[in-house]
Amino acid sequence: MPNEIVAESNLPSTVKQKWNIKSIMLSIMVLGLLGTWGYIIWDKNNVREMIQQKDANAEALTKKRDLLQKDLEDVIKRYDEIKSVNIQKDSVIIVRDQDIAKKQKRINILMSKQQATAADLAEAKSIIESLKNDINGYEQEITALKLKNSELNSMNDKLIEQRDKVRKDLDSSVQEIKNREEIIDVGSTLQASNFNIMALDAKKSGKVVETSKAKKVDKLRISFDLDENLITKTGAKKLFIIMTDPSGKVIVDPANGSGVLKTRDGNEKQYTQVMDVNYIQNKRQTVSFDWAGTGKFEKGAYKIEVFQNGFKIGEGQRPIK
């Protein structure tokens, strides 16, 4: 038999009551279900927003960390550039390096954290600003040191200039003194004059007579005067005697002190003997000595030259027949 829809009004009251309860329960279940779905949807949206906010915060922190890293690199680069032109490397610079290295290490620790917080980055930024202030102060010190160094260099240049002038003046004075000493030295050279050379014959009786015959000559008696000289000081003077035989050969006798002297023109000459004479300043005096040699004299002219102070001061000759 076909189902028939029964009108609610035609149902008994008990059935009506049951029907109302079912309807209410069904409504409650539907409402609960809708509420659950709504909560789920709201929660999901809220979680999505939180994730998005967290991602945005993380991105902002990353950007901030990257900016701080770049700022730190610029600060350290600037410090290295300033330090490379530093005028002096002293203990103060070493301490400053240690302090900056300590701050840089702390910054790296803060920014290398996997989950660096805003507080970490804020501390890093504060330390970087402190580094900037340190480097600004350091740069000011360098500028002051450069200025001071420039002043010192300028002063040093002046001192060098003055020193060079003093040296030049001193060298000129020394050279002038040397020149004057040279003039005085040359001027103090004695002059010999009035040479007299006698050929003597010593008799067995002891008597000595002058002779002109070579075979009778036993010795030569040489005398000359040392002229007055105002410059030459009183004292012992060495006179170098050079005796040349008729052949032009210098007579050398080591037993009588023969040797070699160096003249003022740089040459060397053999001398026959050397004499020490006690000269009195600005006084003419006669020097006399005998020369026997080997006791054998040849025919011809014998020449006598006298040197003193590197100069030849006089000469004389004596012919023997």
Q: Tell me which DSSP letter residue 94 carries.
A: H
Q: What is the pLDDT of residue 157?
A: 84
Instruction: Label residues 46-60 b or e (16+ Cβ within 10 Å = b).
Output: eeeeeeeeeeeeeee
CA proximity to 196, closest of 222, 227, 226: 222
Q: Is 321 exposed, middle or buried (0-12, 13-18, 19+ CB in 10 A)?
A: exposed
What does the block give as tokens for 290? 């005998």
Q: What is the pLDDT of residue 3?
A: 47
Please give the average per-residue pLDDT across 38-46, as a whole number: 71
Residue with tokens 């300043």: 281
Centre a 10 Å sphere on the Cβ of residue 96 and count the other Cβ atoms it contains. Answer: 18
**Domain spanning 192-320: CATH superfamily:** Immunoglobulins (2.60.40.10)
Q: What is the pLDDT of residues 260-306, one digit of tens each?
A: 999 999 999 999 999 999 999 999 999 999 988 766 888 999 999 99
CA proximity to 308, closest of 246, 244, 229, 245: 229
Residue type, 149: N
- DSSP reduced 3-state for 99: helix
pLDDT > 50? residue 314: yes
Report d(CA 208, CA 18) in Å as an integer: 195
Report d(CA 14, CA 28) in Å as an integer: 21
CA proximity to 101, closest of 62, 123, 134: 134
Q: What is the pLDDT of residue 191?
A: 95
What does the block give as tokens for 171? 């060298």
What percentage of the chain exceeds 90 in pLDDT? 28
Contact 286, 224 (CB under 8 A): yes
CA proximity to 81, closest of 144, 152, 142: 142
Q: What is the pLDDT of residue 272?
A: 92
Q: What is the pLDDT of residues 176-214, one digit of tens each?
A: 777 777 788 888 999 999 999 998 988 878 788 888 888
What are the residue boundaries of the structural domains of the chain, listed by start? 10-146, 192-320
Contact 201, 218 (CB under 8 A): yes
Residue 116 pLDDT level (bands cut at 50, 70, 90) = confident
Average predicted confidence (pLDDT) for the chain = 80
263 CA to centre of own chain: 45
Can you state the angle between helices 13-84 and 91-111, rounded to 10 degrees? Answer: 160
Report d(CA 168, CA 78) in Å as an integer: 47
| Backbone dihedral angles phi then psi of residue 277, each to the nearest 5 degrees | -120, 130
Residue 54 pLDDT level (bands cut at 50, 70, 90) = low
253 CA to centre of own chain: 60
Q: What is the pLDDT of residue 189?
A: 93
pLDDT > 50? residue 53: yes
Report d(CA 44, CA 48) in Å as an integer: 6
Report d(CA 46, CA 176) in Å as an integer: 106
pLDDT > 70? residue 229: yes
Let me know the angle formed at the C-alpha of 207 by 222 and 252, rounded to the nearest 5 degrees. Answer: 35
Contact 243, 251 (CB under 8 A): yes
Report d(CA 278, CA 226) in Å as an integer: 11
Instruction: Label residues 251-278 b or e (16+ Cβ within 10 Å = b).
Output: beeeeeebeebeeeeeeeeebbbeeebe
Q: What is the pLDDT of residues 132-189, one digit of tens each?
A: 887 787 777 777 777 877 888 888 888 788 888 877 877 777 777 777 777 888 889 9
Q: Which residues contact 299 (CB under 8 A, 6 or more apart)?
A: 214, 246, 320, 321
